[in-house]
Structure 1
Amino acid sequence: MKAKLYTANRMFTGIIEEMAEIVSLSENKLTLSRPDSFSDVAIGSSIAVAGVCLSAIDRTRDSMTFDVVGETLRKTTLGSLQPGARVNLERALPANGRFDGHIVQGHAEGVGEVTGVKQDGEWTLLTVTLPKDVLPYVVSKGSLAIDGVSLTIAEKGVQSCTVALIPHTMAHTTLGVLREGDAVNIETDILGRYIHSMASGNHEA
């Protein structure tokens, strides 16, 4: 199969398209089941897997395989997931694609811990304790990606934030099965990080 050549960074929106099951994870290679709607995935395709941008290195009718470097396994939840676990999937946004959600790079900045799951009518309030180094970029009513899902921050605490999940998100992403103590990948809003960097004078942040 001929590989695609990519020359630009890929971007996602945090609008999850499908979920897939982990088939295997060994020798820095991750194999997932391939949803029928992902029939256009080719070698070199960029896909956000649980919020982590990975490039496909092989595909079959039923599966997709990705290279995963050791640092990614150590610094995200991917290294701790077991076969049978489900992950969120989103293909990279095409140049002429409709932009929903917010800009998501697929560069998880750290791992958060679920510390609260509370029902509030039809909504579910999810509270996550955040890594200390991402807290400066988290603001109330701002955007945050949790396991690749674009969400609006309902409330920011001292070391945590709370987001409100609608029934569709609960039913069609892995956030619907989260429980207290679960680990999740966190990516803050790149625009917020740029603004914070310029305001602080730290242009290398």
Structure 2
Amino acid sequence: MAPNYQRPLFLLFFISGFCGLLYQVIWVRLAFAAFGVITPVLSVVISVFMLGLALGSYGGGEWVSFLRKKFQLSPIFFYGLTELLIGIGSFTAPWLYKQGANLLLGMGDLNSFSYLLLSAIVITIATLPWCICMGTTFPFMMAFVEENASQQDSFSFLYLANVAGALTGTLVTSFVLIELLGFH
């Protein structure tokens, strides 16, 4: 890959990793606020997040090949579109949590099976589509890198950028942003 591509792509993928974990931390906190600070809520948010990443990553390679052939556009276009969808989803998930919590008000005890099951369904509906989109970003970006690569070692710098962004996103969100800005 030409060096002039590496810095912007590194920055894009750093920001993507940062935002991905920012969303996860905030979605956990908002789910606690909506459904109660209980272990099953944490488990569901984390599990749905990881499931979405896995599904998106698994399907993303096939999807980008299909999309590239069908629309004759660069994978970076689909990457950008996916990031836009994730951004939209970051605003819809909290609203869906609130609506779901309102529906569950009459369900009774936070530890009842029906309450836990329905809250898990709401959390899944609110977050899974956006987490699947997050999972597709890596195959989409890799397709772009592969399309423009002059050598095959281009993968590692993207992985480093995403992991560094994710680590930074977790720390900054947990210890700075939520403390300074709150949730609203």
| TM-score bucket of the superposed structures, by smaller chain | under 0.3
Please report the TM-score for the alignment, with normalisation by the length of structure 2. 0.23
Work out which of the two has the higher radius of gyration on C-alpha atoms and give 1 or 2.
Answer: 2
- TM-score computed with the length of structure 1 as normaliser: 0.22
Structure with the bigger RCO (C-alpha within 8 Å, sep 6+) is: 2
Relative to its length, the structure with more helix (as a share) is 2
